[in-house]
Amino acid sequence: MIDEHRSRSVTRADVARYAGVSTAVVSYVLNNGPKPVAVLTKERVLDAVRVLGYRPNAAARALSKGSADMFGLVVHDNRSPFFAELCHTLDQRGTQAGRSLLIVNSDRTQADTAEQLRDLASRQISGLIISVALTASEQALVESLRLPTVVIGPFGETDALPAVSVDLAAGTRAAVEHLIEHGYQDIAFVGSAARYDARERGWADALSAAQLKRGLLIHTSFTYEGGYAAGVRLAEASPRPRAVFAASDQIAIGMLAALRERGVRVPEDIAVASFDGITAADYVWPRLTTAVQPLDQIADAAISVLLNPTPDPGLREFVPELRVRESCGCTPGRD
Amino acid sequence: MIDEHRSRSVTRADVARYAGVSTAVVSYVLNNGPKPVAVLTKERVLDAVRVLGYRPNAAARALSKGSADMFGLVVHDNRSPFFAELCHTLDQRGTQAGRSLLIVNSDRTQADTAEQLRDLASRQISGLIISVALTASEQALVESLRLPTVVIGPFGETDALPAVSVDLAAGTRAAVEHLIEHGYQDIAFVGSAARYDARERGWADALSAAQLKRGLLIHTSFTYEGGYAAGVRLAEASPRPRAVFAASDQIAIGMLAALRERGVRVPEDIAVASFDGITAADYVWPRLTTAVQPLDQIADAAISVLLNPTPDPGLREFVPELRVRESCGCTPGRD
């Protein structure tokens, strides 16, 4: 039953009267403290809350506190497995700090990112987590919001905002160096065309350090479909590269499908290494050798920036760790 | 820079004065209407907003309106690919209705679902979307919140709440019947032990309609790991089932890994059909034959329930459509 008038007119005092306790006790029960409440009293209060349809009003609290105990999170697409895992970890860690997570997908067709940022700010969020690339004007907008803010990821143009990132170049270099150690010489790159994405540079650096020529360069979208399209190009390339670095596990999985359908064997015909370390990387075949992003550390660092904003928080950068499985040609056992 | 006092003392009137316009014009710019504003005037207002650090206050609006234009969504785990896709679709469709999505994972270890539900309600959300199984007392709590509510999914004990669901039994029956048409007689089931999950019944019904005995029954968790563990049991079963229905694509993907590592070929040694129709089902090998849940229809129906609550909304139920790929033994081409 929806009976908005009734629920809205019920106050904490009504609940206290119905339960035969003070309004302070009602608060203790609803806020789990600060003082303990006897079990039977607690049940009486919760019963009164239920019977009367009382809803403590976070909007009123937010108005008096100036904050709604929510973190706003802007991601490109929460379906991408890496972002789904990031959202989940941020939710877990945010909860420990008493914050809920308001998630916004920037790939919405109906609203531009600036509108979404303004909307989030208007909800009196107590912190803003941005995991998409911002334009200069969006960055200026974020600064003007004067909210505790943290950028997660390697989105270069956000120098003025505190950021938590992983060293994309270093992670990629480690993966490509591993492919080189296997003896592969013709190593392709599949990933982003964005200038802020240092993975292409990490690939090029590893090759030039080993005095190898750059292999085929394919720019694609960070989706299964994007990986599939890249796999088709690799399968049809002449000469075909002997190995390939894919900028995300999701791209690599799409690529594997296209190669398999064209009879190109991984790793025998073309070896694969990728980036992210999503759970699924351990369940596809061959299992992916991948530079693992330390999700827990990233989430903790990001939330710490929001809870303890300092005038000059700068950049916290983590280095991914290479996880070796079968896609590169190694033969480790499952742990 | 974080300067909360400043941002909090700035009012719409300050912005209007700084920009040299009326407060009504400030509202039109910030709300994108209802009246149009000339481009240059709009820029002047946005400039004033930026310079003064004005944040329109949704908490104040929520307090006067009694609603914060947010839908609260409780899912078990947003990382599960199906739920990630569901969240994304709900976010897209919710945005069209002017609602943001507050996502809560019920697998949080720190809070129980009842606490999470009370917390969501206290945020003055304008609707509650529940996609987890509720206990009877949680269900009573939800009813007492007097919020527009919709349950997404087949969580049987929620008869008193409006629900949008898919016919799990029918979808499973279609998948198992397809396996039977291939000539397989010994067909196992891998899925949930929960009584509200009608997939096991759908499997049993299809078998008994074809006068076949029930095959191996394996209960497992809806994760890659759960699927992997089930795959190990299938590989080692004696006699080994000729086919298996998995209750989710994610389970099936974990299962494929375990079978492959043990040299059991799919579909040659054991055929697989599953449920959900996540994107990845089209990229693993073999690609999964699966009963596809109509996500867009589910999301639209759920949001429509929240926007147009009626006294007796009952159950909207959709029937999944079987998508035939290679895991069952068919040989369709990629579309």
pLDDT in tens, chain A (335 residues): 334 334 345 778 888 888 889 888 888 877 666 788 888 888 888 888 777 767 666 555 554 555 567 898 998 888 899 999 999 999 888 888 888 888 888 876 556 788 888 878 877 788 999 998 888 888 888 888 888 999 998 765 556 788 999 999 999 999 999 999 999 999 999 999 888 899 999 999 999 999 999 999 999 999 999 999 999 999 999 999 999 999 999 999 999 999 999 999 999 999 999 999 999 999 999 999 999 999 999 999 999 999 887 766 678 899 999 999 999 999 987 76
Minimum-distance CB partner of A141 among B50, B87, B261: B50
Query: What is the third-level CATH fold of B168-292?
Result: Rossmann fold (3.40.50)
Query: Which residues share a beta bridge with A292?
Result: A276, A321
pLDDT digits (tens, 9 = 90+) for A18-63: 888 988 888 887 766 678 888 888 888 888 877 776 766 655 555 4
Locate all alpha helices (DSSP H) within B146-276, ordered by sequence: 168-181, 199-209, 224-236, 249-261
Q: What is the pLDDT along chain B (335 residues), one digit of tens a residue?
A: 334 433 345 778 888 888 889 888 888 877 666 778 888 888 888 888 777 767 666 555 554 555 567 898 998 888 899 999 999 999 888 888 888 888 888 876 556 788 888 878 877 788 999 998 888 888 888 888 888 999 998 765 556 788 999 999 999 999 999 999 999 999 999 999 888 899 999 999 999 999 999 999 999 999 999 999 999 999 999 999 999 999 999 999 999 999 999 999 999 999 999 999 999 999 999 999 999 999 999 999 999 999 887 766 678 899 999 999 999 999 987 76
Please give the residue of chain B at the shortest CA–CA distance from A331.
B261
Q: Between B51, B59, B92, which is nearest A63 by CB? A: B59
B101 and A102 in contact by Cβ < 8 A?
yes
Which ipTM value was assigned to this complex?
0.80
If you count DSSP H runs as helices and E runs as strands, how many of each does chain B have, helices first? 13, 12
- pLDDT confidence of residue B28: 81
How far apart are the C-alpha atoms of B306 and A321, rounded to whole Å? 45
Please tell me which residue of chain B has the smallest CA distance to A308.
B2
A77/B92 CB distance under 8 A: no
Grouping H, G, I as helix, E, B as strand and the rest as coil, residue A64 is: helix
Tokens of A260: 């398999």
End-to-end CA gap in chain B: 52
Q: Are B241 and B264 within 8 A, CB to CB?
A: no
Q: Report the SS3 class of residue B92.
A: helix
Residue B169 class from Cβ within 10 Å (0-12 exposed, 13-18 middle, 19+ buried)? buried
CB pair distance less than 8 Å for B283 and A254: yes
Q: What is the pLDDT of residue B67?
A: 55
CA distance, residue A157 to nearest chain B CA (Å): 17
Nearest CA-CA partner of A248 in A296, A197, A283: A197
Confirm whether A68-167+295-319 and A168-292 share one CATH topology: yes
Torsions phi, psi of B179, nearest 5? -60, -40
Structural domain boundaries of chain B?
Answer: 4-56, 69-166+295-319, 168-292
Is residue A71 within 8 Å of residue A127, measured between CB atoms? yes
Domain B4-56 fold is: 434 Repressor (Amino-terminal Domain) (1.10.260)
Residue B64: exposure state from Cβ atoms within 10 A (0-12, 13-18, ≥19)? exposed
Top residue of A88, A256, A295 to mutate, by most chain B CBs within 10 Å, is A88
Degrees, nearest 5: CA angle B197-B203-B207: 155
Omega within 30 of 0 (cis) for the link into B36: no
- Residues facing A241 on adjacent strands: none
Q: Is there a contact between A2 and B147 if contact means CB atoms under 8 Å apart?
A: yes
Contact present, B170 and B140 (Cβ < 8 Å) = no
pLDDT in tens, A297-320: 999 999 999 988 776 667 889 999
C-alpha torsion A41→A45→A47→A49, nearest 10: -170
Contact between chains at B143 and A1 (C-beta distance less than 8 A):
yes
B106 touches B114 (CB < 8 A)? no
CATH annotation of B69-166+295-319: 3.40.50.2300
CB < 8 Å to A147, chain B: 2
- Radius of gyration for the alpha carbons in chain B, expressed in angstroms and rounded: 25
Amino acid at B329: G
Chain B environment of A53 (Cβ under 8 Å): 144-146
Cβ atoms of A76 and A105 closer than 8 Å: yes
Tokens at residue A308, please? 């303890």
Locate the DSSP E strands across chain B.
70-75, 100-105, 127-131, 149-152, 163-166, 187-191, 217-219, 243-246, 271-276, 289-292, 315-318, 321-323
Half-sphere exposure of A157 (CA within 13 A, CB side): 12
Homologous superfamily assigned to A68-167+295-319: Response regulator (3.40.50.2300)
| Rounded Cα distance, A189 and A241, in Å | 10
Extract the tokens encoding A60: 């009123």
